[in-house]
C-alpha cells in the first residue's frame, strides 16, 4: 500500500472561502500492494459535515486495498469551515471526474469507479448518486468534460433524508438552520432516485440511535421502485459510527457488513477473491 495526496483543484476550488487546508478539497490515494483489479473506490468519511472521521476513510481504504481496489479518500469541504451545499457536492463530483481522467495513468477502469460514504459522508454519496451529470464537453478544464456518475454506491449508516427522519446536525451543517422546503426536498436523496441511479449496497443497524434506520430503508424503497439493483442489510447490533470495529489490518474481526460488502463487490467485478 502506498499513498499520495492530490488537490482536486490545484489552482483553487470554486467557492473557496480562503486559502487554508480546509479550503482545499483533495484525494488521498491508497494503492493496493498486490492484485489490483483496476476498480476504484472514492471514500467519503462521516462526521456530521463538521469533521472527517479517519476510521471511516483511512481504515476503509486499507480494508478494500486487501481485495485489489484502489481507494481515494476524499477531503471535502465542511459546514464547520463555513461551507454549505453545493460545495460538498462539487467536491464529490470533481473527485469522480478526477479519478476518471487519470484512469489510464493509474491503471484503472473508467467504468469501475464507485463511491462510498458513512453517515454524513453517506449523505454526500447518496446526493451524488442521484445528482450526477454527464460533464460539459465544452469545458476549458478537460476534467470537467467527464461524467461525474459513479458506477456503484456504498452507503454505511447513511443520512439520506433532510426531512423528519434526518440527522439534524448534519442537515444544519449542510444547509444551514433555515433551509427552505424546496432545498429540503432537493437534498433528500430518497426523493431523487431515478432508473439511472447506480446499483447500491446499503447497511445500517437497528440499534443506531443517532441516524434512524428509516434513512436507508427509504432509499432502498426508492431504488426498488425505480428498478435499480441493491443489497440492503439491517444488522441488529451496533452503535452509530462503528465502522469496521476492528482497527488493525488485515481486519479479521471486522463487523460482518465488511464481509457482505466484499461478496457484493465481487459480483460487481470490483474485487479479487480471497
C-beta separation of 265 from 235 below 8 A: no
Q: How far is CA 65 from the centre of its chain?
A: 16
Q: How far is CA 106 from the centre of its chain?
A: 20
pLDDT at 3: 74
pLDDT in tens, 177-203: 889 999 999 999 999 999 999 999 999
Sequence spans of domains, the chain: 2-267
Is the pLDDT at 6 greater than 60? The verdict is yes
Beta strands 26-31 and 2-7: pairing type?
antiparallel
The phi and psi torsions of 217 (rounded to 5 degrees) equal: -65, -40
Percent of the chain with pLDDT over 70: 98
Is the pLDDT at 95 greater than 60? The verdict is yes
How many CA atoms are closer than 13 Å to the CA of 63, on its beta-carbon side? 26
pLDDT at 107: 96
Residue 32 grid coordinates: 493496493
Strand 230-235: give its sheet, edge to edge.
2-7, 26-31, 70-75, 40-44, 113-118, 152-156, 200-205, 230-235
pLDDT in tens, 234-249: 999 999 999 999 988 9
The mean of the pLDDT values for the chain is 96
How many CB atoms are closer than 10 A to CB 13? 20
Residue 249 grid coordinates: 489490518
CATH assignment of 2-267?
Answer: 3.40.50.1820
pLDDT in tens, 220-231: 999 999 999 999
C-beta separation of 210 from 240 below 8 A: yes
Between CA 107 and CA 105 the distance in angstroms is 6
Residue 13 pLDDT grade (very low, low, confident, very high; cuts 50, 70, 90) = very high
pLDDT at 193: 98
How many CB atoms are closer than 10 A to CB 203? 24
pLDDT at 273: 64
pLDDT in tens, 65-92: 999 999 999 999 999 999 999 999 999 9
pLDDT at 161: 97
Is the pLDDT at 2 greater than 70? The verdict is no
Residue 168 pLDDT grade (very low, low, confident, very high; cuts 50, 70, 90) = very high
pLDDT at 271: 87
pLDDT at 1: 53
Between CA 92 and CA 87 the distance in angstroms is 9
Average pLDDT for 148-173? 96
Is the pLDDT at 274 greater than 70? The verdict is no
Give the predicted TM-score (pTM) of the model: 0.96
Amino acid at each position: 500500500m502506498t499513498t499520495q495526496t492530490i488537490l482536486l483543484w490545484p489552482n483553487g476550488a470554486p467557492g473557496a472561502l480562503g486559502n487554508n487546508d480546509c479550503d482545499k478539497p483533495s484525494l488521498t490515494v491508497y494503492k493496493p500492494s498486490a492484485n489490483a483489479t483496476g476498480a476504484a473506490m472514492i471514500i467519503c468519511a462521516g462526521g456530521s459535515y463538521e469533521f472527517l472521521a479517519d476510521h471511516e476513510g483511512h481504515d476503509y481504504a486499507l480494508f478494500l486495498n486487501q481485495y485489489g481496489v484502489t481507494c481515494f479518500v476524499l477531503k471535502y469541504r465542511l459546514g464547520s469551515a463555513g461551507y454549505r451545499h453545493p460545495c460538498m457536492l462539487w467536491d464529490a463530483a470533481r473527485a469522480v471526474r478526477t479519478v476518471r481522467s487519470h484512469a489510464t495513468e493509474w491503471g484503472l477502469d473508467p467504468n469501475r469507479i464507485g463511491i462510498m460514504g458513512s453517515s454524513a459522508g453517506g449523505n454526500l454519496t447518496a446526493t451524488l448518486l442521484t445528482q450526477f451529470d454527464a460533464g460539459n464537453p465544452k469545458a476549458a478544464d478537460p476534467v470537467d468534460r467527464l461524467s461525474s456518475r459513479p458506477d456503484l454506491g456504498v452507503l454505511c449508516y447513511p443520512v439520506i433524508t433532510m426531512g423528519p427522519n434526518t440527522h439534524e446536525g448534519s442537515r444544519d451543517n449542510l444547509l444551514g438552520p433555515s433551509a427552505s422546503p424546496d432545498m429540503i426536498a432537493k437534498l433528500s436523496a430518497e426523493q431523487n432516485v431515478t432508473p439511472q441511479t447506480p446499483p447500491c449496497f446499503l447497511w445500517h443497524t437497528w440499534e443506531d440511535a443517532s441516524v434512524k434506520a428509516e434513512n436507508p430503508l427509504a432509499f432502498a424503497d426508492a431504488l426498488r421502485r425505480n428498478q435499480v439493483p441493491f443489497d440492503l442489510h439491517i444488522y441488529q447490533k451496533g452503535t452509530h459510527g462503528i465502522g469496521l470495529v476492528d482497527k488493525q489490518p488485515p481486519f479479521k474481526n471486522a463487523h460482518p457488513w465488511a464481509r457482505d460488502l466484499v461478496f457484493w463487490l465481487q459480483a460487481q467485478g470490483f474485487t479479487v477473491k480471497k
